[in-house]
């Protein structure tokens, strides 16, 4: 058994015992109450599942196994070619529950390199899509095609015992994560670079190799990729991509089915697709101002016009957060250091000053502050990646780290099939009013 799997193995039985005892001794403890309004408002605030990898606090933002993003960007091992934390490290933390050493992260980089073998039929699946198909459609379909290699599916068909489910799920999860940069970069090069593909460089870390296969080999872009793939990796269990992935996985669907489901949720404009929507919206604003960066007053008029058209301001608001997203701040810090004079960064800052009071004034928006998607796109544009309809795929590659850690743990502790109860309005009125 490889070292990471061995380490995980040692953590599993104590966790199973902990959960069994907790439920046995405290199973009737009430952990929340449900209001009628929550049934009609997307289950906001309802505690309904366990996710060990990370927890979102409305005011403190995301914590991964108890560590804030700021702390982790300091504490996680870095590449020897830069200052950014490596996403391999956050994966280790989410999976094992401890901070990794430099040796741990290089073990993961090597393991993913070793596992990054994408069968030909997956490329053929991608090739069969017309170029007009959104990159997320092609990404999700390619993940499904990859499913043919599922170790879990094979083990299940061979009658594996429940307590061993996690082992083949671990194999699938690691293989899937390893293959995603190849699949994503293949889609990118097919759509935008005349199908001129770039072979992996096996000496690089996961992010730098991904940047290299996309066709961006300069150090700054690789650093951006490390940051990007770290900060988008997980956002507890209730967001659409995590929840969709969890739900589908709970039926014992394998890692490929479960992750593809998550990606279909991420592809929605209120979730991960918001990163492309932000760029589209910003560029249209510039275009409408004759190619110039609009003034604060002009931004304000533009924002109000968007709202009057019955549209949302992309990149602002959140279902849980009630302050500026720390992932926004992490990207802002990167921009301040590396591209502070970039005109679109100046525009993003202007939008940040203008939008919150306008959203507050509507009297209905619960969180007027920017989320992760308000910032990510312009960083990529600055380094020459201008094909913004691809940006959600980058988000998806990163999200695999969280969703796959969650799935492995769900299998390890034997999480049951998810089956909440739905109501009818008639029943709500009859039984509760």
Give me the active site residues, please. 271, 318, 373
> Per the structure block, which two tokens stand in for 357?
């009071």
Determine how many CB atoms are found less than 10 A away from the CB of residue 43.
Answer: 15
Rule CB under 6 A: is residue 161 a binding residue for ligand HAX?
no
Rule CB under 6 A: is residue 274 a binding residue for ligand HAX?
yes
DSSP H helical ranges for 193-273: 206-214, 219-231, 240-250, 255-266
The minimum distance between CB 153 and ligand HAX, in angstroms, equals 29
Asked if 266 and 259 touch (Cβ cutoff 8 Å), the reply is no
Rule CB under 6 A: is residue 136 a binding residue for ligand HAX?
no
Q: Which of 397, 85, 368 is nearest to 232 (CA)?
A: 397
Determine how many CB atoms are found less than 10 A away from the CB of residue 197.
Answer: 15
Asked if 283 and 305 touch (Cβ cutoff 8 Å), the reply is no
Q: Which is nearer to ligand HAX, 318 or 375 (CB)?
A: 318
Q: Which is nearer to ligand HAX, 97 or 356 (CB)?
A: 356
Q: Which is nearer to ligand HAX, 97 or 317 (CB)?
A: 317
Residue 418: Cβ-neighbour burial (10 angstroms; 0-12, 13-18, 19+): middle
Rule CB under 6 A: is residue 255 a binding residue for ligand HAX?
no
Contacts to ligand HAX from residues 302-331, by CB under 6 A: 307, 312-319
Rule CB under 6 A: is residue 187 a binding residue for ligand HAX?
no
CA distances from 154 to 95, 157, 171, 410 (A): 23, 5, 12, 19
Rule CB under 6 A: is residue 406 a binding residue for ligand HAX?
no
Rule CB under 6 A: is residue 403 a binding residue for ligand HAX?
no
Give me the residue whose beta carbon is nearest to ligand HAX. Answer: 317
52, 88, 223, 373: residue in contact with ligand HAX (rule CB under 6 A):
373
Q: Which is nearer to ligand HAX, 54 or 371 (CB)?
A: 371
Q: How many Cα atoms are found within 13 Å in the side-chain-facing hemisphere of 404?
A: 28
Rule CB under 6 A: is residue 271 a binding residue for ligand HAX?
yes
x/- track of binding to ligand HAX for residues 194-233 (CB under 6 A): ----------------------------------------
Q: Which of 215, 263, 213, 256 is nearest to 122 (CA)?
A: 256
Contacts to ligand HAX from residues 46-65, by CB under 6 A: none
Q: Which is nearer to ligand HAX, 200 or 269 (CB)?
A: 269
Please, what's the b/e burial string for 333-351 (b: 16 or more CB within 10 A of its CB; e: otherwise)? Answer: ebbeeebeeeebbebbebb
Q: Which residues bind ligand HAX (CB under 6 A)?
A: 239, 270-272, 274, 307, 312-319, 359, 364-367, 371-373
């Amino acid at each position: 058994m490889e070292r990471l799997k061995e380490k995980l193995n040692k953590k599993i039985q104590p966790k199973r015992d902990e959960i069994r005892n907790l439920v046995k001794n405290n199973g009737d403890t009430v952990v929340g109450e449900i209001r009628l309004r929550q049934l009609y408002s997307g289950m906001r605030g309802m505690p309904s599942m366990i996710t060990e990898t990370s927890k979102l606090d409305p005011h403190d933002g995301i914590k991964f196994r108890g560590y804030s993003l700021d702390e982790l960007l300091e504490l996680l091992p870095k590449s020897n070619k830069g200052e950014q934390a490596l996403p391999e490290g956050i994966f280790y933390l989410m999976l094992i529950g401890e901070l990794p050493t430099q040796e741990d992260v290089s073990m993961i980089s090597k393991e993913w390199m070793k596992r990054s073998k994408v069968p030909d039929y997956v490329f053929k699946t991608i090739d069969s899509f017309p170029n007009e198909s959104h990159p997320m459609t092609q990404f999700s379909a390619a993940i499904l095609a990859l499913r043919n290699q599922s170790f879990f599916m094979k083990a299940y068909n061979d009658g594996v015992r429940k307590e061993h489910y996690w082992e083949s799920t671990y194999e699938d999860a690691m293989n899937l994560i390893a293959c995603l940069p190849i699949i994503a970069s293949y889609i990118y090069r097919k759509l935008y670079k005349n199908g001129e593909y770039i072979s992996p460089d096996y000496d690089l870390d996961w992010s730098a190799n991904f940047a290299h296969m996309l066709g961006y080999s300069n150090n700054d872009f690789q650093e951006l990729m490390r940051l990007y793939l770290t900060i988008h990796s997980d956002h507890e269990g209730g967001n659409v991509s995590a929840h969709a992935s969890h739900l589908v996985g709970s039926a014992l669907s394998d890692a490929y089915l479960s992750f593809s489901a998550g990606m279909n949720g991420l592809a929605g404009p209120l979730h991960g697709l918001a990163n492309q929507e932000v760029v589209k919206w910003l560029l249209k604003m510039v275009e409408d101002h004759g190619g110039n960066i609009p003034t604060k007053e002009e931004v304000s008029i533009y924002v109000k016009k968007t709202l009057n058209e019955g549209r949302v301001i992309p990149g602002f608001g959140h279902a849980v957060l009630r302050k500026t997203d720390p992932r926004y701040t992490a990207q802002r810090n990167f921009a301040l250091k590396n591209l502070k004079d970039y005109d679109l960064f100046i525009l993003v800052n202007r939008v940040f000053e203008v939008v919150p009071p306008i959203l507050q004034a509507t009297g209905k928006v619960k969180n007027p502050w920017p989320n992760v998607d308000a910032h990510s796109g312009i960083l990529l544009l600055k380094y020459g990646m201008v094909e913004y309809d691809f940006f959600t795929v980058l988000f998806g590659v990163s999200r695999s780290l969280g969703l796959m850690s969650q799935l492995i743990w769900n299998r390890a502790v034997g999480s049951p099939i998810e089956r909440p109860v739905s109501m009818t309005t008639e029943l709500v009125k009859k039984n509760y009013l």
